[in-house]
Chain A
Amino acid sequence: MNNFNYERPRSLREAVSLRSRNAGAFYLAGGTDLIVQMRDDLLKPSLLIDLKALKQLEGIDMKKDVLHIAALTKVSAVEMDRTLLRTLPFLCDAAGFLGSPLTRNKATIGGNICNASPAAEFGTPLIALNARAVISDGEKTRVMAVEDFMTGVKKNALKRGELLSGFIIPDPKGHKGRFFKKSRIKLVDLATVNITVIKKGTEYRIAIGSCFIKPLRIRTAEEMLRGIKEPDARLLGKAARICAEEIKPIDDLRGTADFRRDIVFHYVKKLLGELTAKGGQR
């Protein structure tokens, strides 16, 4: 690890200005991605801007039917939040699959999306929820879809002088959803594939992670199912087939591309089946 400076700003504005003034600066949230990369000398920041003193960047809030999750909210807080467990339990499931309890007590939801791994646990549930990223430059905010915020492997849409302050999920009620993670071991392993499927009325959303440079929505499959209350097994199979075809997985240590397509096919079908079955919970 290289030597670096460390600042713990007291205001959002100070944080952003430190970042603007220092080309080699990185924000530090939980540090569970950042410190690992620094240890391996993959990143050599000249300055770490610790965001943890900014309490306004932490918390989960339901305001007028809009759900706000601040960027520095711990993964374990998402996992165990009462409101979320009631309204969006599959988001809590996703949190519960990230790393180990130790990781989850440090890691933040914002760090997970900013880090923009194709396998990021929050990638698929957030893009399936049409969540929006709230970006602040210290004064003004701008908002964009999380789907567009993650731009590629370890890349996001932040400009210098901006930070991610949180997420908003418009209209969070009435989603039935399922989150699924296939990993090789249960504790502390990145996903070979992760999937979120959502049904809201007769609208369907399917998001798949770890199968492209970033998590993907499979809109052709979603469109095919739109408006159908109880799609039959044949149709679900067709939708799942489209998903398996549209993803662009690679062979890596976590699994082969073929294996990933196989899992996507079987699990999209199974999860959709669970959501559309009569009396299907959640």
Chain B
Amino acid sequence: MKHYSSVGKNVKRYDAEEKVKGTSVFTDDLNFPGTLYAGVYRSPESCGRIKKINTVKAAKIPGVRAVMTAKDIPGRNIVPVVFDDQPLLAEKYVRYHREPLAIVAADDRNTLKKALKAIECDIEETEGVFTIRESLKKKRIVNGLYKDNIFQQYVVEKGDVKKAFAGAFLTVKNSYSTNYQEHAYLEPQSMLVKPELNGIFSVFGSMQCPFYVQDAVSAVLGIGLANVSVHLMSTGGGFGGKEDVPSIVAAVAALLSHRTGRPVKYILDRDEDISVMSKRHPSYIEYESAFSKNGKLLGVRTDYYLDAGAYSTLSPIVLWRGVIHAVGPYECPAVSIKGYAVATNKVPCGAYRGFGTPQIIFASETQMDIAAEKLGIDPVRIRELNAFKKGSETATGQVLKESIGIRKTIDAAVSRCDIGKTRSEIASFNKKQRYKKRGLGISCLFYGVGLGARGGPLQKGGAFVSVFKDGTVQFSVGTAEMGQGMYTVLGQIVSESFGINPSAVLPQRVSTEKVGDSGPTVASRATFISGNALLIACDKIKSSLLSFMLSEKMIRKASDVKFEKGYVYTGGKKKIPFTELSSKAWAGRVKMAEYGWYLPQGTSFDIRTGRGDAYVVYSYATNIAIVEVDMLTYRTKVLKLISAEEFGKVVNPLLAEGQIQGGNAQGIGWSLYENMVVKNGKILTDDFSTYLIPSILDIGQIEPVIVEEPYKGGPWGAKGMGEMPLMGIAPSIGNAIYDATGTRLKKVPFTPEDICNGHKSK
């Protein structure tokens, strides 16, 4: 095995100190002279025809510098994503509650507030469509562009499903539903746009996808992409919530900046952020599984519906990922998966850690548990029996060739939890206790790394690396640091390449000025894509250094050279410090700044049949939850969550554990606490006293277990992992609640009321 000096180490985050001290610079910390404050006037109705928007009074208020509606947009009135069906400002119809109608810039926040209150609108309200069921009836159409209320549908078909079900020993059929999830990032959406000389606009903000933002600003202003420079500020969390919607925030600020010629800051209040920004899609799922007597999965038939809201935004690709992952990490010879993204008169849903998979994993992993019980097979055993191995075929017919860690994660989770002992402890606890019941539940999952075949032209990534004459290194990439620690992980990848200390490698703030459009920072792709692009750039520099050393007769042949521990070994034990080589190479005018461009290869997807090699590679995880249910209040407490994850070679174990801890906690939130209440399309839980996210006291003990199964195609063997820790938590907790109480829950979140009703109905 290769010996690593930097990869695999707990290198401290570049930004650790500034975060702890509070000196990180966020968008709101920027204060350019003359900055105006932006705000949005929003529709009071969920659905209707706009008759009039009256901004006259607002415009007259002293200190108000601009009031704009759709007709004032110099470019195109769109939010560019996939289908471009969403206007930035509604013009004829409103399709969801609080849809933007007008925008205002004012000298200060109080004036802004007054102006927003002074705007009036006349909307002829019509009856909206608020549920998947209503939408599918097609009595009322949300958006004329989609006559059947369906933004997108997919099928994945394989094998003879009818035969599989007819010949099955056991079939299990259930329906499942899940509610919204709000990202609850610490820092709300924020953007500042500043006009520069020569018709250029600088955009500073909190985001995952600088190139999306560049697109959006260029579109609404009707100016070239070259006139828009987007700079990433310290970003206080994204989780998918800063994938596409920062485009809206930036476009609002840009329009007002364009109009007034002044810097404009738009920072959302929390209630506005919760009610109008994207969320995890609510879902409805019908799921049917067929098993042989000995527990082999023979067939899956499922219909998967996502409640997409009023515009398609990212729903088409969220749905696609969900459909691809619908069966789980199991061999299954016959599948029929149908997925639908359905229009409703509600806030558009979008990306959220897991991207359409947590919902369907909840269904598929609950099915597994039900089947295990009916077949009298241990829930761990039934998963082992069906789990992918080398040569297994996925639902889309992709043959898995390497780095398949699912079995390793099952073993690791089971042994960490000492499952036999834990189960007998639970049994004796339950015997003794009257009011408290404990249970254990398991879930398994896999995750396609990167955008996959439907990512199309976005599947690419650039990087720039520059070695200075003192041997220090700077790098730039096109993916974003949003708190996950990407800068640090990529720094380790670069320092490993040059065999130098990670402290000598420094990231540059991400900006569209530094590297070409590298696609979005989503799909757990930053380490994989930017890491590979960086290594390409590093290799180019190293090859120039080799030529230089050859020409200077420092070495006899290139294969003698090794970059290790701060030195360049030039044959046998001969070595020179990397710093010295850098300085010599500089003097020798060697090109030590290079650009790397990485393209993942070989993904495919046939839209008619749903067959193809959907993703380049997959990561794997197994979760075991141990819960305690209070049988008087029906409150569920997670005592312990063991999360064993395999994502190739781990670059920074501490950061990876941080991702697991955080993802698990969000998963617990979605499973037990976060319950968005929406009435006639209006979100009632728009703050953290009504929409509850768990605190440290509610999440129990989380035990990350990292399992390695290096992948040749990854940077130093790494895959991607940011999303997995959230994805399978709901079924592990649901299965544990069943184990504890005998109540089978098919709706997320698992509220005390639901457990109570389930208990009483027995």
Chain A residues near B (Cβ < 8 Å)? 100, 182, 184-190, 253, 255-256, 259, 262-263, 266-267, 270
Q: What are the residues of chain B within 8 A of A253 when measuring CB–CB?
A: 677, 684-685, 690
Question: Secondary structure at chain B's binding surface: helix, strand, loop or mixed?
Answer: loop
Q: Which of B632, B684, B689, B696 contacts A190 (CB 8 A)?
A: B689
Q: What are the residues of chain A within 8 A of B633 when measuring CB–CB?
A: 182, 263, 266-267
Determine if A270 and B632 form an interchain contact, defined as CB atoms under 8 angstroms apart.
yes
- By beta carbon, the residue of chain A nearest B690 is A253
Interface size class of B (residues with CB under 8 A): 20 to 34
B66 within 8 A of A: no
Q: Which of B692, B753, B756 contacts A185 (CB 8 A)?
A: B692
- By beta carbon, the residue of chain A nearest B632 is A266
- By beta carbon, the residue of chain B nearest A190 is B689
| A263-B635 Cα distance, complex, nearest whole Å | 11
Determine if B685 and A185 form an interchain contact, defined as CB atoms under 8 angstroms apart.
no
Determine if B684 and A182 form an interchain contact, defined as CB atoms under 8 angstroms apart.
no
Closest Cβ of chain A to B25, distance in Å, is 25
Q: What are the residues of chain B within 8 A of A190 when measuring CB–CB?
A: 689
Determine if A187 and B696 form an interchain contact, defined as CB atoms under 8 angstroms apart.
yes
Q: What are the residues of chain B within 8 A of A187 when measuring CB–CB?
A: 695-698
Question: Counting chain B CB atoms within 10 Å of each CB, which of A185, A189, A256 scores highest?
Answer: A185
Question: Counting chain B CB atoms within 10 Å of each CB, which of A100, A184, A255, A262 scores highest?
Answer: A184
Determine if A185 and B673 form an interchain contact, defined as CB atoms under 8 angstroms apart.
yes
Q: What are the residues of chain B within 8 A of A188 when measuring CB–CB?
A: 688-689, 695
Q: What are the residues of chain A within 8 A of B697 when measuring CB–CB?
A: 185-187
Q: What are the residues of chain B within 8 A of A182 when measuring CB–CB?
A: 633, 635
Take A253-B677, A270-B435 as given contacts and tell me if A263 and B632 are in contact as well, using a CB distance cutoff of 8 Å. yes
B694 within 8 A of A: yes
Q: 25 pairs across A/B with beta carbons < 8 Å?
A: A100-B695, A182-B633, A182-B635, A184-B673, A185-B673, A185-B692, A185-B693, A185-B694, A185-B695, A185-B698, A186-B695, A186-B697, A187-B696, A187-B697, A187-B698, A188-B695, A189-B689, A190-B689, A253-B677, A253-B684, A255-B752, A259-B756, A263-B633, A267-B632, A270-B632
Closest Cβ of chain A to B268, distance in Å, is 15
Determine if A255 and B673 form an interchain contact, defined as CB atoms under 8 angstroms apart.
no
Question: Counting chain A CB atoms within 10 Å of each CB, which of B677, B684, B693, B698 scores highest?
Answer: B698
Chain B residues near A (Cβ < 8 Å)? 435, 632-633, 635, 673, 677, 684-685, 688-690, 692-698, 752-753, 756
| A246-B200 Cα distance, complex, nearest whole Å | 69
| A189-B435 Cα distance, complex, nearest whole Å | 23
| A270-B673 Cα distance, complex, nearest whole Å | 25
| A270-B433 Cα distance, complex, nearest whole Å | 14
- What 8 A-B pairs have minimum CB-CB distances, sorted nearest first? A187-B695, A266-B632, A186-B697, A185-B692, A185-B698, A187-B697, A253-B690, A182-B633
| A187-B694 Cα distance, complex, nearest whole Å | 8
Determine if B684 and A262 form an interchain contact, defined as CB atoms under 8 angstroms apart.
no
Closest Cβ of chain A to B484, distance in Å, is 25
Closest Cβ of chain B to A239, distance in Å, is 16
Q: What are the residues of chain B within 8 A of A186 when measuring CB–CB?
A: 695, 697-698
Q: Which of B692, B753, B756 contacts A189 (CB 8 A)?
A: B692
Q: What are the residues of chain B within 8 A of A184 when measuring CB–CB?
A: 673, 692, 752
| A188-B689 Cα distance, complex, nearest whole Å | 8
Determine if A259 and B753 form an interchain contact, defined as CB atoms under 8 angstroms apart.
yes
| A256-B753 Cα distance, complex, nearest whole Å | 8
Determine if A255 and B753 form an interchain contact, defined as CB atoms under 8 angstroms apart.
yes
| A255-B693 Cα distance, complex, nearest whole Å | 16
Excluding A185-B673, A256-B753, 9 further A-B contacts by CB distance (< 8 Å) are: A185-B693, A185-B695, A190-B689, A253-B684, A253-B685, A263-B633, A266-B632, A267-B632, A267-B633
Q: What are the residues of chain A within 8 A of B693 when measuring CB–CB?
A: 185
Q: What are the residues of chain A within 8 A of B756 when measuring CB–CB?
A: 259, 262
Closest Cβ of chain A to B116, distance in Å, is 12
Q: Which of A100, A259, A267, A270 contacts B752 (CB 8 A)?
A: A259
